[in-house]
Each structure stands twice: as C-alpha cells, then as structure tokens.
Amino acid sequence: MTTVKDYIRTIPDFPHAGILFRDVTTLFADPRGFRMAVDQLLAPYAGRRIDQVVGLEARGFILGGAVAHQLSAGFTPIRKKGKLPAATLSQDYTLEYGTATVEIHDDAIKPGQTVLVVDDLLATGGTAEAGIKLIQQLGGDILGCAFVVDLPDLGGRARLEAMGMNVHALCAYSGA
C-alpha cells in the first residue's frame, strides 16, 4: 500500500442506506499506515511553531495525540457537551436534524498560542467551525486544520476556507 487512501476501508450503507462510510480505523490499525498519516498531517507545518494541537471528538483525539507527540506540543480535546470536568466554553453547531454543542476547557489555550486543529474527516465542517470559534474565543492563533479525509461535495473545506482557515487533507472522496 502506497497512499493513505489505500488503508481506508469503505463501508456501504453505514450508518444509513446510501451512505459510503470512510472507515479510518483500518488506517489506525496498521503501523505503516498510521505513521504515514501522522507524517503527512505534519508535513505542511514543518519548521513552524505549534504550541497546541486540538483534536475534535472522537477520532481527532487519536490523530491529535500522535501529532502533538511528534511536535512536542500540548494536546487539547474539544468534546461533546458535558464531557469535560472543569469550567468550559461552549459552541453550538447545526446538524442535519437539530443542533449539537462542543466544549473546550476555558484555560486550555492561552492567548497568542499557535494551534493546529486535527480530525479524521471533513464533511460539512460544522464541528470544525465550532471548534475554531472556541479556539478564537480563547485567543489562539490557528495555523491550520489538518484532516485525513475530505468529502468535498459536502462543502466543509469551502466553509473553513471562507473563515480564512488553511485546510490540509491527505485524501478526498467525491460523491460521498
């Protein structure tokens, strides 16, 4: 296998009929694939100072922790509402049917810290946008947003780029 995409399994009709689910757990399970993904997520930011890596729940924790380790940076999780134990900031975002909320500890990012946002998949960009807003509220300077998979037909990349974000994805699937 020579590309990150080679390690990603596609599961038809999950979680609903007509959906092609891009399963990155097979990428994480393979040592060569996982290392390749982490190295490629870091590549655009080589030589840049990154103080904190922010991982979006839940697979962003797996990638973000590995990326933070490679950078000797701190790691900060952005979690679903009610999962963090100390004082938090929260941000709502829109789902297909309703809204959801993500949170960050209110002392997780210091003003002026350089932040890299990491997650496994960019679809509509709602979760990432909410996370970006939380980081900005805390005064973080977002260097970029790095994803393993981009589903460009769902508009997430365009949404984040419209916010002024630098978006990096290792592979893309059209017709998602």
Tell me, yes or no, if 79 is annotated catalytic.
Answer: no
Considering the domain boundaries, does residue 161 fall inside one? yes
Domain membership of residue 71 (yes or no) is yes
Assess if residue 16 is contained within a domain: no
- pLDDT classification of 153: cutoffs 50, 70, 90: very high
DSSP lists the bridge partners of residue 78 as 56
What percent of the chain shows pLDDT beyond 90? 95
Q: What range does the domain containing 88 cover?
A: 47-172
**Span 87-99, mean pLDDT?**
91
**What is the rounded average pLDDT of the residues 93-117?**
95
CATH number at residue 102: 3.40.50.2020
Q: How many domains does the chain have?
A: 1
Does residue 157 carry a catalytic annotation? no
Q: Active site residue: 22, 59, 79, 157, which one?
A: 59
| 5 lies in some domain | no
> What is the mean predicted confidence (pLDDT) over 145-161?
98
Work out the average pLDDT over 138-165: 98
The predicted structure's pLDDT at residue 176: 54
Q: What is the spatial distance between Cα 104 and Cα 83, in angstroms, rounded to a whole number? A: 10
